[in-house]
Amino acid sequence: MFSLFIFSSCTWNELPKVICVPDEQVYLDLVQPIIENNCISCHSTPANMPAVLGSYDGVIDALRNYSLKEEVINRTMPPYGSPPLSDSEINIIQKWADCE
């Protein structure tokens, strides 16, 4: 049922810009470890923080409302002074966010 929902919300003909729901299993397998290692130290609680990245739902929310993908691609996050993501880590997050 849930994968059906993902499928139907990933139709390519509704809008020129694809709106899709990034897959939860891919999140658990590939994306969550990157977030845990690089983002959670700052983004675990709502205090003073626009994006709470401790769960799939939180990360989806940050994708929709806090331009998480752009922050990662532009290397704005993690912020200066924190260890940067590798190219392949950025690639994983980008592809996942684009539902590829």
Nearest to 73 by CA among 49, 99, 92: 92
Contacts with ligand HEC, 31-70, as mask; x by CB under 6 A: -------xx-xxx------xx----------x---xxx--
Q: How far is the CB of 40 from ligand HEC (least distance, A)?
A: 8
Question: CA distances (Å), 72 to each of 7, 13, 53, in order?
Answer: 25, 27, 13
Q: Does 97 bind ligand HEC (CB under 6 A)?
A: no
Amino acid at 88: S
Q: Which is nearer to ligand HEC, 77 or 92 (CB)?
A: 77
Nearest to 38 by CA among 95, 65, 76: 76
| Out of 52, 85, 92, 97, the residue judged to bind ligand HEC by CB under 6 A | 85
